[in-house]
Structure 1
């Protein structure tokens, strides 16, 4: 029995770590692909913002039903459906020929991503009951690992020639998302923890969370952090290509460096958050990321490496906030995760739309002599907004820390 328990725990670790790796890959192969998509399908920056908003909306829908689905059919079956859906979405993206069909493929992908996010968060919260900050940061390290590999590999794969045909972004998506089938092996062999969801729903309800100011502050703070994280993943390559006039390979390389620092921070700083405190850690990380991201916008291309170094600040925020949630709402972690991640989905729908339209609005107002120069200014404005969201995350967390201190419950 001891061997079986250890073996099952090992399989669950493979599911969590492997799942987060696939999550990182599926979310961050879009950076190198977006410029080619935009050119081939004649998409405006507003269209790209709308596409990313559709992604967030799909993610949001998944967040609203995944916890319920886990209750009804179990974690194992839900996980199997999730990975199958992500693989099928790659086929739909491969077959896309216009904005509508591309948006449909992305909708399916982010439906899978949303289910994966909630499912992995619930599994991790159930099995990592000790050293929570360290283990959640380690889990999200694998998201960073997948994210680091994704842009470089995606950029290279798009140039592959198969039977005298360039693979392109469509073929790249189909091949990369087929990797979602690999975790099905440990999922099928594992026994997943049961019974906690019913217990926690009795103790902590959505109604109670909706009346808790700290719960709403956590939602806003984490929404700002996620906006910064996903915004950099989506827009950094475009920024470097259009503003700094880099080639696609170099720009994709910088995005991979960002995810390398992002990943390294999650690997190394988890134990620091457990000792230093979750709120104080998030405040420090957020202000560092925001300030570092602003410098190249104003100081120029020679400081572009700071875009990547910002990953040290952004990387640990999400798992550290998840650890804070697990400790603050120990009697209802599943419910708190569902409440928080669902509302983050609402916020990221709005923020993704906003980034695209900030770029278009500033471009249209610019008095620069050419459209290219005007668009460069628009891209700078959009990226400045991303840096400000990281600072807003830290500012909000200052208030969370103050309120927890009043309750003698500093986390």
Structure 2
């Protein structure tokens, strides 16, 4: 018996390494873009709308991956699915290194987001299967590793881009290739883990049509969509905002983004047990409202309130893992379908959200310039409007969570 338990324990540890290590790499791949985007803009002569379109278009890769990963995991297994994710991400770094123009860069980003989407769904399904106790705390702990790598990703990216190699800087191309090459590391323990048999039926399995007809499922999609748009937008736009609106150096702006992810990381490490105690839905209401108010206050106050950009990470960090915990508990017998349905639709919102932020920023900038203002003032006004939109998304996440709480309370099913 002890040998069997030891065997199970070792396999569980290997699966934990895959989950925690996967989120660690995921954080790097998502958040090294902050310091890199201004350099991409300068080298390829991109305006703010093109950056928004770049992020939105490449989110289509994420959306595409989300749409088939659940099916792939059921047909081919999670081992092959996670391996495909890691390999895709590593290859995208090579493609990015050789990207000569905007179209090639978009293609490389598209491939990276394919890998990111496959990885996120696969890790979420695996986590839902193995975290059957203290689900909120364990989901937040797993996503803590995303926050951990995200904290250091901007600093590492900024430092690597300045490294001299054979008389020239490594630049954003070399930085991306090196960082994404780390994607192969979590693959190794996964090759020795057993993925089959983790899922046990705990009730009648729901089909995709059942989720389409479930208003609670749609509300969860809305909650997660607003929260994730607000969360992911920080990585893409905060450095840009601080450099162009406040005239901060690239290193100083990267440090503030790292401060955001430091708060983000601590929140996922420390607030997971709190979400289990006060309830997932109530946690979503309070934390997303806090994040939105911090972001909006930071823009209104101006440069002296820049620290609030970082503090917003405390509120937005637990949103995604808490929603995953809610899905794992509410749809225990159909977690893979629930996660695929929710995250795929969230991906659509991410495409729209990235485009909307870029469009708002560029539209206000040109509107200001058309009114006779200076171009630099127009850019600042546009960036401020874009960031106010990011804060508004967090507040809308909170408002949708209030509606979700009321609906679940009427059904005596509050989680």
TM-score by length of 1: 0.98
Query: Is 1:243 paired with 2:256?
Result: no
The range that moved more, 107-116 or 207-216, is 207-216
Contact 2:154 2:255 in 1 (8 A): yes
Query: Is 1:191 paired with 2:194?
Result: yes
Tell me what 2:414 maps to.
410
Deviations 1:310-346 (A, max 9, x none): 0000001110111111111122111100000000011
The range that moved more, 201-210 or 114-123, is 201-210
Q: 1: CA distance between counterparts of 2:91 and 2:110?
A: 11
Tell me what 2:405 maps to.
401
Tell me what 2:15 maps to.
12
Question: Structure 1 residues 296, 195: CA separation in 2 closer, same or farther (over 3 Å shift)?
Answer: closer
Tell me what 1:46 maps to.
49
Query: Is 1:298 paired with 2:268?
Result: no
Tell me what 1:375 maps to.
379
- Give the superposition deviation at 1:368: 5.8
Aligned length: 410
Q: How does 1:349-388 map to 2 (within 5 A)?
A: 349-366=351-368, 367=371, 369-388=373-392
Contact 2:130 2:198 in 1 (8 A): no
Q: 1: CA distance between counterparts of 2:34 and 2:196?
A: 36
Deviations 1:188-245 (A, max 9, x none): 1111143739x58961111111111111111011100000001111000000001111
Deviations 1:346-388 (A, max 9, x none): 1111111111011111011113632111011000000000000
Q: 2: CA distance between counterparts of 1:370 and 1:11?
A: 57
- Give the superposition deviation at 1:81: 1.4
Give the RMSD, CA atoms, in angstroms.
1.2
SS in 2 for 1:203: coil
Deviations 1:85-144 (A, max 9, x none): 110000000000110000000000000000000000000000000000000000000000
Q: 1: CA distance between counterparts of 2:81 and 2:94?
A: 21
Query: Is 1:23 paired with 2:26?
Result: yes
The range that moved more, 97-106 or 324-333, is 324-333
- Give the superposition deviation at 1:391: 0.2
SS in 2 for 1:310: helix
Tell me what 1:162 maps to.
165
Tell me what 1:276 maps to.
278
Query: Is 1:209 paired with 2:214?
Result: no
SS in 2 for 1:101: helix
Runs of 4+ in 1 over 4 A off after TM superposition: 199-202
Tell me what 1:120 maps to.
123
Contact 1:368 1:374 in 2 (8 A): no
Q: 2: CA distance between counterparts of 1:196 and 1:268?
A: 28
- Give the superposition deviation at 1:184: 1.4
Q: How does 1:61-210 map to 2 (within 5 A)?
A: 61-194=64-197, 196=199, 203-210=205-212
Q: 2: CA distance between counterparts of 1:244 and 1:106?
A: 28
Query: Is 1:32 paired with 2:32?
Result: no
SS in 1 for 2:363: helix
Tell me what 1:285 maps to.
287
Deviations 1:226-282 (A, max 9, x none): 000011110000000011110100000000000010010000000000000101111
Contact 1:200 1:335 in 2 (8 A): no
Q: Unpaired segments of 5 or more residues in structure 2?
A: none
SS in 2 for 1:87: helix
Q: 2: CA distance between counterparts of 1:193 and 1:63?
A: 21
Deviations 1:6-65 (A, max 9, x none): 111111110000000000000000000000000100011111001100121110000011
Query: Is 1:60 paired with 2:63?
Result: yes
Q: 2: CA distance between counterparts of 1:231 and 1:92?
A: 24
The range that moved more, 361-370 or 177-186, is 361-370
Q: 2: CA distance between counterparts of 1:137 and 1:193?
A: 24
TM-score by length of 2: 0.97
Q: 1: CA distance between counterparts of 2:7 and 2:130?
A: 15
Question: Structure 1 residues 276, 201: CA separation in 2 closer, same or farther (over 3 Å shift)?
Answer: closer
- Give the superposition deviation at 1:398: 0.1
